[in-house]
Structure 1
Amino acid sequence: MSTAAVNSRELAHPDRAEIRLEGVLHALSDPMRLRIVRDLAAAEQELACATFELPVSKSTTTHHFRVLRESGVIQQAYRGTAKMSELRRADLEELFPGLLEVILEAAELQAGRG
């Protein structure tokens, strides 16, 4: 990982070249993580982690964000006291053209089925 955590306020992220398809698919296979990604995609901007209301504990929510970050699906950074997250759309599109959009469309269809 190129962006090594220098202190507790900096978060490590994989370089674009280090993002692996199997890691992205694993990260997106969990319903809570897919929900986070759908919310970020809909927002089209970075969002504070605290804005996500997930039906899991805070520690489990933290775990889900870490899996998404370490797989290269999201980028996170501290802005003041808030940890902000955003999709790595450009990186994912460069590596796996169309994958994110197809997954988001499929998730929408699935959500519509109830």
Structure 2
Amino acid sequence: MRLLPHPATEDIQLTEVLRALSDPIRLEIVARLAAYGEMTCTVAGDSLGVHKSTASHHYRTLREAGVVVTKQEGRLKYMSLRRDDLETRFPGLLDSVLLATPVGGHV
């Protein structure tokens, strides 16, 4: 299993996290990860109503902003929230965003 490139905890920038969370599709992905835990990119992207290439763009944006960590195992990629890292950098931010985000439908 290998980790895809992502920023170190101390390099996560608030502006990048907020930019990543400002898109309704990405916010939906984050809400799903928060509700269900680690999942494959395929499962996380189910019923988002976007093409695979668009979903991949959203996954990369979330990873590069430091919101998620992505691990590749064979052909599958697994995503999970970097909850502890985000809490360390910006206490309460993720929980506040998630409280305002309904799960199961586009935001």
Q: Deviating runs (4+, > 4 A) in structure 1?
A: none
Q: Normalising to structure 1: TM-score of the pair?
A: 0.84
**Partner residue, 1:92:** 86
- Bigger-Rg structure (1/2): 1
Where 1:107 maps in the other structure, the secondary structure is coil
Name stretches of at least 5 consecutive residues in structure 2 with no aligned partner: none
**Partner residue, 1:81:** 75
Number of positions where the alignment pairs a residue of Structure 1 with one of Structure 2: 102
Aligned equivalents of 2:13 and 2:59: distance in 1? Answer: 17
Where 1:86 maps in the other structure, the secondary structure is strand
1:29 to 12, 22, 31: 22
- Bigger relative CO (Cα 8 Å, ≥ 6 apart): 2
Deviations 1:37-85 (A, max 9, x none): 00000013x1000112120111100000000000000000112221000
Where 1:75 maps in the other structure, the secondary structure is strand
Once the two structures are aligned, what percentage of the paired residues are identical? 49
Q: Normalising to structure 2: TM-score of the pair?
A: 0.89
